[in-house]
Every structure is written in C-alpha cells, then in structure tokens.
C-alpha cells in the first residue's frame, strides 16, 4: 500500500484508501498538478437508504461552520449511488494518539487542547448545533497542534431563531455520554456536550476512561457520585483539575457547569508552565518507533521526537548541535501517517505537500505513534506479526500480501479491530532511517476505542521487540 493512482475527476487522483466504514470509505485525493491533497468521504447510498436524511443534515451542518477548531469543509457532490464529502486534513494526528494509556499527557498539553475543544463546542452551541459524539477519536490536530472537531454524522440543530428544543434520540459512545442521554429521556443538548468534554479531559489527564457508562448500575460511576476519589482515575488527577471535573461531571444536568462558568474556573484560567526534561533513548535493535511531521526528515527532527517507546512528550528539549549519523541511528525512528476512525468514517486526510512539491503517497502520511520500522523483510515481518498476534490471542486475517486485519476485544469486552499495513520499501527515507531499517509497519484503528487500541498496540509492540 502505496497504490497506483486511480483517476477521480480531471486533475485529481485517488492515491490510497485511508479507511473503510459500514457505509463506504475514505480516500486520499491528490491534485496531479499541485500535489494538494484532500479527504474524500465516499458514502454508498444503497447502504444508507433509510439514513440519507442524516447525510443531508451532516452536509447542511458542515456548510454552516467556519471556525479554527472545526474541520474545514470544502464541498460535496452526489453522483449516481455515491455521495462525496470533501474535507481538509489534519496532519498532526488524532488526539487519542497523544494520550498514553494509563498515564495521559502533560497537564499543560491537556489544558491547551481542552481550551481549544471548549472554544469549538462554544462556537457550535452559538449556532444552535450540538455534536453529540465528542470523544478523542473525533478530535484531530493540525501541524501546529490546532485542534479540529470532526465527524458531524450525529450532529443536529437544537436551537433555531431563539427557540430551543430538547433532544430525545440516544447518540454517542457509552463511556462519553451523559447520564441523561443514557436514560433515553429528552435532554438538553448543551449540558450533554459539556459532559462529554469532561470525559475527554479525564482521558487526557489520566490515560483511561472512568467508567463503561454513567449509570447507577456501574460501580465506578457510583464511586464517583459518592466522592470516592481514592480510586483510579481520580487519584491520578491533581486537585485543581479534579475540582473542575466535579463541576463538569455532575449527575444533574441542571446543576452542571456551563461554558460561561467553566471559563472562570481556576484551573481553566491558570497559566500552566511547560515542564522541560530529558528522556533517555529507549528502543530495540530490531524496531525503531516514533513520530514527526513528514516535511522535516532531519537529524534534529528525529532527536526532537525521541521520547519513549509509546508516547512523545512535547516538552522534551534536546541539544542537537553535535549530532552524528551514528547517534541518530541509535534513536527511535520517525513515524509517518495518520489513521481514520474508519467505523465512523472519521476524516483525517490532508494536504501535506505544498504546491509543486514531489512528495510520494508514503511521505504524505501524517503523524502517528502506532508505527515502527523493522530490519526484517516484508514476509518475515508479516509472519512475526501474525505469530505475535496469535500468542496474544488476537484473531488475524490476511487481506493482501502486505495487509492484515486483527480482531480482538478490549477490556470492556467490546470488539476492537485494527489493520496492519506493511510497506515493502521505505527507500525514499534511507537518509534518515539507516540502511538496516527498510520495512515500515503502519498500524491503524478500524473499529473500537482509541485508548484501548493503543493499549493493545503497546502489548503487541513489546512482544515484537522480543521476536524481530
């Protein structure tokens, strides 16, 4: 997978498939003249006959939106049995990929992303729009770490010309929805979105979700209601952000903190300093792993992205004034792409190349930590990955000679599917990958929770470090 371009419209080609969903797929469209890239969400209308009004609503809502923290909409087109939706690409990756399972992320980063998330949600609410499926998989980042809210398939209008209505339909993902949504009774849209933002903040600060669902049948939720904060994840969160979460995750929506009050919260307005520290190189003689932007394949970029086996800390600063090729070769290596949450056909496509650039499809892939290089050949690598998956009791299906589909369950016993793509050659990166690292393995979430996916990926990579 790279594949040969397939003509789409005049001047544009489909370079590769970024993800597949129940009703279609997401493809990368490349302008043959300028190398500009956009995402094309392709929906097979035959599969969504009864849901076509939802597609029309999604398009109509996209047309209303213009905000820095909302993914940019370029247009749409209906052709025969397909609906095409064109959106921008966020090359910084998905928010869940910045969250280390069971750890989270540095507090100043969580605060920065939370500020942007609230700005985007406040904008939506000002237009009378509710998203109804806020979660890290539906939040992308651009090359400057500007947050982008995506996937408006569940979005709807709750206020029009000053008249506000209650929402009756259950939408969202159980760990992120509010109690009133779960009860499937009419609820206020703004309070429900705010609750989901609070759960995203928990995930960023603690690296885990607090419960399977916020119901009185859930022990973890009852502990929260009873103020038993000695349990995880609350024991991992500092006092000030925990106080804010107490306001956001209030069972009664009438008592829940609104955005105006939220913006006056002590932790929200506090200026958090970025902590700087050095991190020791971690790696394997067989696997190199890491993340960086695709346009900067320099030794400095490699050093700046070497943090740990599973999660970079943007606060790390390295002295790169005296860097040798040998020292670079001993560090974790670059990552190149960004996945889509294919089950919801989440768009995560982008134009990484500037007009006139000559980047290959592989070089256009965005940031992600779930990727690594190996010294083995393609067939050896695939065989070892299959063996490691089987030892971990993951079901494996070989789709093509360079693609695997892995099916398993997460800790909540919910189905989790991810795909493994093996690039036969990374020769275009030989200057920075060291000659012995010639096979790139790209692992992408297809269906399931992002944090659980990263947890399972970490188990896989640790097993592979012992095998490859």
Residues 399 and 145: their CA atoms lie apart, in Å, by 34
Burial of 216 (0-12, 13-18, 19+ CB in 10 A): exposed
Question: E strands within 318-402?
Answer: 371-374, 395-400
State whether residue 48 is helix, strand or coil. helix
* 8 A C-beta contact, residue 446 and residue 419: yes
Residues 323 and 318: their CA atoms lie apart, in Å, by 10
Q: Look at phi and psi of residue 308 and say left if phi exceeds 0, alpha if psi is from -120 to 50, else beta.
A: beta
Residues 97 and 50: their CA atoms lie apart, in Å, by 34
As annotated, the active-site residues are: 133
Ligand-binding site membership of 41 (annotated)? yes
Q: Which two tokens stand for residue 235?
A: 């024991």
Residues 176 and 6: their CA atoms lie apart, in Å, by 39
Q: Tell me how far CA of residue 158 lies from CA of 58, 173, 374, 376, in angstroms.
A: 14, 19, 51, 55
Q: Which residues are annotated as a binding site for ATP?
A: 41
């Amino acid at each position: 997978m790279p594949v040969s371009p397939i003509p789409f419209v005049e001047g544009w080609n489909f370079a590769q498939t970024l993800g597949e969903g129940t009703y279609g797929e997401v493809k990368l469209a490349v302008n043959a003249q300028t190398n500009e890239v956009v995402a094309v969400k392709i929906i097979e209308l035959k599969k969504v006959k009864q849901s076509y009004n939802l597609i029309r609503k999604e398009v109509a809502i996209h047309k209303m939106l213009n905000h820095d923290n909302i993914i940019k909409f370029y247009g749409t087109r209906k052709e025969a049995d397909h609906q095409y939706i064109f959106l921008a690409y966020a090359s910084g990756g998905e928010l869940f990929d910045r969250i280390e399972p069971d750890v989270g992320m540095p507090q100043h980063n969580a605060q920065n992303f939370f500020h942007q998330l609230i700005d985007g949600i406040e904008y939506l609410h000002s237009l009378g729009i509710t998203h109804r499926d806020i979660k890290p998989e539906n939040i992308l980042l651009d090359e400057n770490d500007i947050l982008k809210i995506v996937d408006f398939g569940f979005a709807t209008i709750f206020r029009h010309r000053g008249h506000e209505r209650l929402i009756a339909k259950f939408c969202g993902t159980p760990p992120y929805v509010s109690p009133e949504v779960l009860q499937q009774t009419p609820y206020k849209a703004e309070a429900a979105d705010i609750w989901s933002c609070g759960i995203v903040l928990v995930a960023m600060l603690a690296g885990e979700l607090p419960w399977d669902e916020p119901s009185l049948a859930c022990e973890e939720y009852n502990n929260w209601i009873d103020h038993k904060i000695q349990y995880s994840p609350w024991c991992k969160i500092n006092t000030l952000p925990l106080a804010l979460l107490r306001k956001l995750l209030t069972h009664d929506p009438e008592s829940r903190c609104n955005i105006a009050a939220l913006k006056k919260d002590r932790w929200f307005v506090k200026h958090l300093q970025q902590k700087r520290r050095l991190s020791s190189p971690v790696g394997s003689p067989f696997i190199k792993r890491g993340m960086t932007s695709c346009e900067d394949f320099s030794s400095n970029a490699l050093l700046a992205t070497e943090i740990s086996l599973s999660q970079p800390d943007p606060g790390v600063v390295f002295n790169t004034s005296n860097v040798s090729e040998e020292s670079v070769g001993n560090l974790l290596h670059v990552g190149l792409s960004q996945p889509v949450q294919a089950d919801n056909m989440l768009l995560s496509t982008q134009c990484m190349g500037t007009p006139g650039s000559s980047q290959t499809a592989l070089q256009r892939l965005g940031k992600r930590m779930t990727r690594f290089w190996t010294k083995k050949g393609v067939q050896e690598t695939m065989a070892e990955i299959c063996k490691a998956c089987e030892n971990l009791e993951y079901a494996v299906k070989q789709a093509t000679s360079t693609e695997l589909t892995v099916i398993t369950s997460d800790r909540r016993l919910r189905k989790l599917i991810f795909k493994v793509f093996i690039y036969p050659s990374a020769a275009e990166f030989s200057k920075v990958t060291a000659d012995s690292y010639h096979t790139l393995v790209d692992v992408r979430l297809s269906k399931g929770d992002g944090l659980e996916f990263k947890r399972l990926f970490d188990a896989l990579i640790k097993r592979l470090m012992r095998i490859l």
